[in-house]
Structure 1
Amino acid sequence: MANNPENDEKTLQEELSLPIHLADRVIKSAHEVESSKLECAELAKQVDRLSQQLRSAVRIAATTPSLYERPVRRIVADVAKNLERAITLLRKCKHSGVLRQVFSITTTADFRKVSNLLESSIGDMKWLLSVFESDGANLSLPPIASNDPILSWVWSYIATIQMGQLKDRAEAASSLVSLASDNDRNKKIIVDEGGVTPLLRLLKEGSSPDAQIAAANALFHVATDRERVRIIIDLIGIPTIVSVLGDSPMRVQVAVVNLVAEMAELDPIAQEEFARENVTRPLVSLLAMDTVLDEPKPQSGKPSIHSLVQINKELVGKGTNPNSRSASFSSNHYHSDGSSRGGHYRKERDREVESPEVKLKLKVGCAEALWKLCRDCLLNSRKVTETKGLICLAKIIEREVGDLQLNCLITVMEIAAVAESNPELRRSAFKHNSPAAKAVIDQLMRVIQEETNPDLQIPAIKAIGSLARTFAARETRIVGPLVARLGNENVDVATEAAIALGKFVCIENFNCVEHSKTIIEFDGVPSLMRLLKATDRTNEQAHMHCLVLLCYLALHVGNSKALEQARVLSTLEGGARSVVAQNPDMKEVFYKAIHHLSLYQPGAHPHRQTYMP
């Protein structure tokens, strides 16, 4: 992690006082020498220039509250070393007589070397002062960075971001984007030299959308591995990012939401920190803009006068026009802390003038950020389902196309995957009487049945498979279309259908027997056997999933004629070894399935020596 100057033992003034003191000693010693007086006088002139530069740096440090200290400390430390070498050389020149003759052999070479070092220090200080005194970045090359020009550029850009005028700060942040885009080494230099903090400050200030976008893009290009994401977290960057996301112009939000997605994808700690800052609320709100999210409520006859009055009070209490047809979730602009701040009218006006392209880009980014936040994260998944997130996702899946529809499908898939291993979330978010859950299931099934694009079908099938335990015993509306997908011409789609059906009929599913009967009724065995044959020797994983599904069917409905006609017993006996090798936990299940089938099929002998996995 980059060193934080605030944690250093010495203040910047203390760091600068040392070389100033050394410079005074050099000048004093130069007047006391007994030999090489001309050379020493030249050294004294160089050091006098250096002393003046150091004192200028002290004045700048004293009058600049947000001074970028990193290059100052690095250059001043180097200056101090060179001045100490000058003092050592001048000590030799104080000797006289025999001692002077002993040291005179090396004096000429030493003077040249020390003079060159001092000249480099003068060049470094000149560059440093020009950076702090200029309005924009200084792209000249100081001697200290002659072997690594990137270092001086990074110093210059960061100094401008921290201390420059607004326009120059935005340009410097954009320049860091270009550097960070080149390679990982540049990204590391930017972080090590303290670039994250001023970028976060520039993002937070909100004085210029262009500057905020440049800062967000720079952070996005820096945060490309877990270590650098953690640095942003450690510098309390996530509260800043969430705050800006909830209260900025749309084109700024586009850049910020990309940063959220990148960090969430790379680091589970970032997922948890974003969850603590409630980032899903502004994301769902932005995703739902221009979308009416009222959940349909069952009507039982005409509403009473009392109920109408009560509804009217609730709407007024929420700040909603009771005469409007419905209320949109996006009309309530909550921020990361759940509060509602000023600027509502301004943001509505910004949305009206913003182009449809920017709106779509923001929605696509929000949906992508949501699925990356929810992946394997219970806290974020729960927060999405506790808002109107599910109904929002369902409506977008129904009405939109392209990346927006796909990202919303993947978000549902990731939430369902978390719910699969968390019964509490599964019961609360996907309970049968929930209108939001029903809307999501309806759209997943519509995609499975009506869409032809495998990229859409696969996440929908995976989501239904993850929710297999929530469906009733004779839920043919769900199982039937999955069985039909076993015969899909796309092997990946067919394989996902087999995996999903496997979750319906696995032993852990309370309704496994009824679901198995449904698969048989929908003529699933012939399709499964064809898929099994198609994946033999070409797709080992797909082949295994088909065998596992057959195994469960055999275990639950072993007396089925469909299994006998398809010669499932011999198929399982032949494939058991390969499945168990990949999945040892299936050993006992396969043995029981084979034994169970042998009890029902004519010609089979239950006590014969068959392969026991």
Structure 2
Amino acid sequence: MASNEEKRIDEVLSLPILLSDQIQASAMEAGLFQSDCIELGKQVDRISHMLRSTVRFSSSSSLYDRPIRRIVSDVSKTLTRTLTLLRKCKRRSIFRRVVTIVSQADFRKLQNLLDASIGDLKWLLSVFDFDSSANGGIAPSLPPIASNDPILSWVWSFIASIQMGQLSIRIEAANQLASVAQDNDRNKKIIAEEGGVPPLLKLLKESSSPDAQIAAATVLFHLANDQERVHLIADELGVPIIVQVLGDSPMRVQICVANLVAAMVAHDFVVQDEFARENVIRPLVTLLSFETFVDDPKIQLAKQSIHSVFQINKEMVKNLNNHRRDLSSSLSFYSDGSNRGGNNRKERENEKPEVKNKLKISCAVALSMLARGSVWNSRKITETKGLLCLAKLVEKEQGELQLNCLIAIMEITASAGSNADLRRAAFKTNSPAAKAVVDQLLRVINDLDSPSLQIPAIKSIGSLARTFPARETRVIGPLVEQLSNRNQDVATEAAISLGKFACPENFLCMEHSKTMIEFNCVLPLMRLLRRGDQLQFHGLNLLCYLAIHAGNSEALEKARVLSALEGADRIVSAQHPELKELVSNAIYHLNLYHAGAHAHKQSYAP
């Protein structure tokens, strides 16, 4: 037997209509409580008329049927109970009258239930009657079914208006739904469960009104703070819709859609890959680089960018085939998106500077989310002018945009740090983009006294540690200097990044270790051993690498590093057992070079 959700809406309505007809016939045949039975029959007659009025909405192709199914299901249960009671009141033998227990309380209870059903159906008709309703389908009152949970009826009303109303009504309803969604996660869950995502995506895709698109994108943004709801948006084919709107909308809309991309990717790695397959990186980089290179005649990227975009589209089409996408529709989508995107150029040029800045911030955040933990996406960003654009914005901008561009660089370099192919392809020493990025990272570390900016810059340099040749000593000095930074987090990140230069996995660890000692890093490291737990851990880690790779250094001997490590060895087992073997190895290397020297000095001491 088909469930209520599987039945067509006309089938769902047919049962209570049939029950109402049977009830009215039974009311006329009542032998007991005749007046009460007739009164029930009148109530059911009102219900019957309302049910038949509801039928006329069922033929609409855009019908939002969730509240109809829920309310009609409850109405059917009440009508079934009413019919059962009336049948007990039929004329029958004296014996049946004696054993049949029917009371006035039963009638009062059913009258209340029927009144509630009348109220629910009246509310339902007001929601769907867009032509005569003064509120345009947004019901001003609550139905009895939602008396204990008014959010449910509001959500039903707003979703119905978004799906079935005129444009102005849809915009108002979407804004109201955004307000409801913003309140708490329970409201978001109700919106998703009650079928709010498909009409919102339809409004986002098909509407020619920026206000409507912004309203729809705002609701989806609030919903996209949970992996399950992000999956729901993706399952409703939301990703290609979002990418299309991103590339072909006014800036105000693009800001909201870029924020939506960032929110979805932040909560689900599967959607991160799906956005990549839909080539979302192309419009994001294009929007981020808008006007960035206008005043810089030295940067000539046109040919490179066109070639990069062609290569990306070619690879994306191949990927779309692998994921059961239709090739012809994908090609037409990319082609159409490019043509329509050009139509908004004049609008973009005339936009207010604060709107342009806000859009770039949103795109930078979205790119950082896409690059996070993804070598594939990071490579796609570097294959466009994205990397050079980020470096340029770090140089020119300040505040939130500068910070988010640094974070995007940090995520890209983190991916490069874990993948040799990406390092070789994107961060070659002769690459203009790589050089620009490193120059800006060093400028931020050296010149800007801002921990929030310095930390991602320091992390980025550390991720690129294996790309720098031994002669590239300019990156070591700034990191060593930050070991003495008064901000503990900055000093910690500096120690971690220097550790990536000196660790055994780095082919040039010996050369880099000697360079660090030349930049006088030993004394700051010794001071770190007396500070916080994290600083102590990473400082000790780096000091051990220096002892192993440059144990014959005079600076290590003068700073009494051997004694410090011997002292640390006694407590390292309790606090940092993972460093025990490393500390023992460092002590062994220092003993090879310095133990004899200490004994020699002591024997000739006056």
- For 2:482 and 2:336, locate their aligned partners in 1 and report how far apart those are by CA, in whole Å: 46
Secondary structure at the aligned position of 2:338 is classed as coil
- CA distance 1:131–1:455, change in 2 (3 Å): same
- For 1:60 and 1:297, locate their aligned partners in 2 and report how far apart those are by CA, in whole Å: 61
Superposition pairs of residues 173-572 of structure 1, within 5 angstroms: 173-292=174-293, 337=334, 340-533=337-530, 535=531, 539-572=532-565
Deviates more, 1:87-96 or 1:339-348: 339-348
The letter of the residue matching 1:515 is: H
1:427-452: CA deviation from partner (whole Å, max 9, x where unpaired): 11112222111111111112122222
Is 1:89 matched with 2:85?
yes
- For 2:487 and 2:24, locate their aligned partners in 1 and report how far apart those are by CA, in whole Å: 84
In the other structure, the counterpart of 2:581 is 588
- CA distance 1:560–1:340, change in 2 (3 Å): same
- CA distance 1:404–1:91, change in 2 (3 Å): same
In the other structure, the counterpart of 1:38 is 35
- For 2:332 and 2:478, locate their aligned partners in 1 and report how far apart those are by CA, in whole Å: 41
**Please, what is the CA RMSD of the aligned residues?**
2.6
- CA distance 1:315–1:144, change in 2 (3 Å): closer
- For 1:289 and 1:140, locate their aligned partners in 2 and report how far apart those are by CA, in whole Å: 48
- CA distance 1:315–1:446, change in 2 (3 Å): closer
Query: Is 2:182–2:222's contact at 8 Å kept on the other side of the alignment?
Result: yes
The one of 68, 90, 104 aligned to 1:72 = 68
Is 1:57 matched with 2:54?
yes
- For 2:270 and 2:189, locate their aligned partners in 1 and report how far apart those are by CA, in whole Å: 20
Secondary structure at the aligned position of 2:249 is classed as coil
**Deviation (angstroms), 1:9:** 2.3
- For 1:315 and 1:558, locate their aligned partners in 2 and report how far apart those are by CA, in whole Å: 47
Count matched residues. 569
Percent of pairs with identical residues: 61
Query: Is 1:246–1:335's contact at 8 Å kept on the other side of the alignment?
Result: no
- For 1:407 and 1:164, locate their aligned partners in 2 and report how far apart those are by CA, in whole Å: 39
In the other structure, the counterpart of 1:301 is none
Query: Is 1:247–1:335's contact at 8 Å kept on the other side of the alignment?
Result: no
In the other structure, the counterpart of 2:325 is none
**Deviation (angstroms), 1:270:** 2.3
**Deviation (angstroms), 1:35:** 2.3
In the other structure, the counterpart of 1:12 is 9
- For 1:453 and 1:360, locate their aligned partners in 2 and report how far apart those are by CA, in whole Å: 21
**Deviation (angstroms), 1:110:** 1.4
**Deviation (angstroms), 1:315:** 10
Q: TM-score normalized by structure 2?
A: 0.89
In the other structure, the counterpart of 2:328 is none
The letter of the residue matching 2:344 is: K
- For 2:281 and 2:549, locate their aligned partners in 1 and report how far apart those are by CA, in whole Å: 42
Segments of structure 1 that go 5 or more residues without pairing to the other structure are 299-310, 319-333, 607-613
In the other structure, the counterpart of 2:98 is 102
- CA distance 1:115–1:448, change in 2 (3 Å): same
Secondary structure at the aligned position of 1:601 is classed as helix
- For 2:90 and 2:260, locate their aligned partners in 1 and report how far apart those are by CA, in whole Å: 62
**Deviation (angstroms), 1:602:** 3.7
The letter of the residue matching 1:49 is: R
The letter of the residue matching 2:208 is: S
- For 2:595 and 2:304, locate their aligned partners in 1 and report how far apart those are by CA, in whole Å: 69
The one of 108, 115, 119 aligned to 1:123 = 119
1:483-528: CA deviation from partner (whole Å, max 9, x where unpaired): 2222223332222111111100101100000001111111111222
In the other structure, the counterpart of 2:173 is 172
- CA distance 1:154–1:16, change in 2 (3 Å): same
In the other structure, the counterpart of 1:139 is 140
- CA distance 1:340–1:180, change in 2 (3 Å): closer
**Deviation (angstroms), 1:34:** 2.5
Deviates more, 1:180-189 or 1:30-39: 30-39
Secondary structure at the aligned position of 1:510 is classed as coil
Is 1:28 matched with 2:29?
no
Query: Is 1:264–1:270's contact at 8 Å kept on the other side of the alignment?
Result: yes
1:158-200: CA deviation from partner (whole Å, max 9, x where unpaired): 1101111111111111111111122221111111111111111
- For 1:316 and 1:234, locate their aligned partners in 2 and report how far apart those are by CA, in whole Å: 32
The letter of the residue matching 1:591 is: S
1:91-119: CA deviation from partner (whole Å, max 9, x where unpaired): 10124233453356533221221122112
Segments of structure 2 that go 5 or more residues without pairing to the other structure are 131-135, 308-330, 600-606
Q: TM-score normalized by structure 1?
A: 0.88
